[in-house]
Structure 1
Amino acid sequence: MQKIFYQKELLIKAPQKRKGADNNKKDVEKIQSWLSLFAMQNPSSGTATDIDGDFGPATEKAVLNFQKANGLPQNGIVDQNVFDELVSPLKNAFETNISGSNLRELILNTAQNHLENHPFELVINHQSNTGPWVRSYMDGHEGTDWFWCMGFVEAIIDQAASIQGKNFKTLMPLTYSCDTVGTTGLQKKILTRYQTARTNSALIKPGDIFLLQKTPNDWIHTGIVTAVHADTIETIEGNTNAGGSNNGNAVMNKIRNYKQSKLDFFSIESLV
């Protein structure tokens, strides 16, 4: 795999605890981030806490609640074993063995596995597009300006292609820019414009990438096509929301009407 920054998100330097001599602000922020992410999926768990890098009484109580919810010894201390439980969704997303008879199936199954582990961004220090999921997709980058939809798409294709011993960078450059991928598609003649796609749906295949066009050479959002129907496509896409925003906060399964939207399609066939 090319995109391996996620591995750094799975570790802390030392056990973290209230008034701990080895407390590290970044590690405490990681812990607080995962406590808050756990609370999103388990709203009655009592693990939501501020993400400020300070392991105070609120964080300690959130840790105790997390330990209780997961059947762990309740001591309020986060060692690597407890942290492993906190970060298990990320580890499952990137390291679960994915099966598939071809690259397209591998891409779809990889995307579905990420979706099922609930990737979600956080707001840290008043900055959106932050947190461990964003950093993992964006190779350590995060913050309001770092839209992460293409980072998500490339992470999925990289992970799937690597299972077959293929390097996704032979298909497209490592980038976080929809424009870069769109331009690459035009240069390689593997980008189907929306006008053509609307009249010939056979050109759109599961595993391909959609690019939402703003202007002919400006694309503002992307995702992976998972199914094609008469007028609609199903997708899995990052940095979106229920309204289909290009700057939302989650990975979601979406349905888009490609005959009413300016969706260009980038083919992965040459990598297959």
Structure 2
Amino acid sequence: MNYPNKVIKAGEKNSQIVKAIQQRLIELGIGTLQGTGTFGPKTVSAVKQFQAMHRDRFGNPLIVDGEVGAITWEVLFDNGVPEEHEAPNTLLAKAIEVAESQVGVMEVPPGSNRGPQVEAYLASTNTPPGNYWCAAFVFWCFKKAAADLGIPNPVVKTAGCLDHWNRTQALKITTARAINNPSLVVPGSIFIKSHGGGFGHTGIVTAVNGGFIETIEGNSNPNGSSNGIGVFRITFRKINSIEKGFIIYG
């Protein structure tokens, strides 16, 4: 059975989906289930037991919450969730292509928020050198993509992650909606994280793998941290780690 693009939890009305989960847990010898199709306390307990015993594809412990989201589903059924690598429109596809061409760009010197290409990203948003530049990198990628396609750039001109989220008129998918239905996130989406105090981080989604996204991020590090030293491809971000959500242009 394919992932139903929603979190399955206590009170779920689709008995066929619940029965499939229960049958799989029974096969694994977890819990004391009868396969009734009712997601009650015994099923919650069995799912929690399964989650406590297993890890995701990157070796991280599953969140023990008794709910079957995309990541738990992938591990439970050992068949994954269909991966999406194709952007839904030419602008998003071109922006990914541009971003990929920048992977490996580094600050000069590291830790300075400066360097020829970094300053070009910042200049595209009229932001002085030395500032945080992840949002400027996103804008620069879309600006170049739009120019290559001969169309206007619809992305908000800003070096501020949360400013982008607040001002954009494009489609916004909140994290809560994305967790429930990862298929709403598409390659070419722009993720927006919020760290509090007006600070955040952003990048471009290049692929969606169930509850995970692959991204290209400026002002980052190989571990995906914010205010890093270059442009990196990150393969292990979870949708539920993106505090604000996703912006989709086109």
After TM superposition, is the score higher than 0.5?
Answer: yes
> What is the rounded CA distance, in whole Å, between the counterparts of 1:222 and 1:174 in structure 2?
14
Match of residue 240, structure 1, among 212, 220, 228: 220
Residue type of the partner of 2:102? Answer: H
Give the structure 1 partner of residue 191 of structure 2.
Answer: 210
Give the structure 2 partner of residue 61 of structure 1.
Answer: none
Q: 1:176 to 1:260 in 2, by over 3 A?
A: closer
Report how far residue 123 of structure 1 moved: 3.0
Residue type of the partner of 1:204? Answer: V
Q: 1:172 to 1:219 in 2, by over 3 A?
A: farther
Report how far residue 260 of structure 1 moved: 4.1
- Whose helix proportion is higher, 1 or 2? 1
Q: Secondary structure at the match of 1:221?
A: strand
Match of residue 227, structure 1, among 196, 201, 207: 207
> What is the rounded CA distance, in whole Å, between the counterparts of 1:227 and 1:172 in structure 2?
20
> What is the rounded CA distance, in whole Å, between the counterparts of 1:121 and 1:207 in structure 2?
24
Confirm whether residue 112 of structure 1 aligns to residue 100 of structure 2.
yes
Report how far residue 238 of structure 1 moved: 0.2
Report how far residue 262 of structure 1 moved: 2.1
Match of residue 156, structure 1, among 134, 137, 141: 141
Counting matched residue pairs gives: 159
Q: Secondary structure at the match of 2:98?
A: helix
Q: Secondary structure at the match of 1:134?
A: helix
Q: Secondary structure at the match of 1:142?
A: coil
Give the structure 2 partner of residue 166 of structure 1.
Answer: 151
Residue type of the partner of 2:134? Answer: C
Task: Give RMSD over aligned pairs.
Answer: 2.3
Mapping for residues 92-111 of structure 1, pairs under 5 Å: 102-111=90-99
Listed one character per residue, the Cα deviations across residues 135-167 of structure 1 (whole Å, up to 9, x for unaligned) are 110117212xx0000111011001111122112
Q: Is the 8 A contact 1:134 1:141 kept in 2?
A: no
Match of residue 234, structure 2, among 241, 254, 257: 254
> What is the rounded CA distance, in whole Å, between the counterparts of 1:174 and 1:210 in structure 2?
16
Runs of 4+, deviation exceeding 4 Å = none
TM-score, with structure 1 as normaliser: 0.54
Q: 1:252 to 1:263 in 2, by over 3 A?
A: farther
Q: Percent identity?
A: 31
Mapping for residues 20-35 of structure 1, pairs under 5 Å: none
> What is the rounded CA distance, in whole Å, between the counterparts of 1:218 and 1:266 in structure 2?
18
Structure 1 range deviating more: 239-248 or 252-261 = 252-261
Q: Is the 8 A contact 1:172 1:184 kept in 2?
A: no
Q: 1:219 to 1:232 in 2, by over 3 A?
A: farther
Q: Is the 8 A contact 2:192 2:242 kept in 1?
A: no
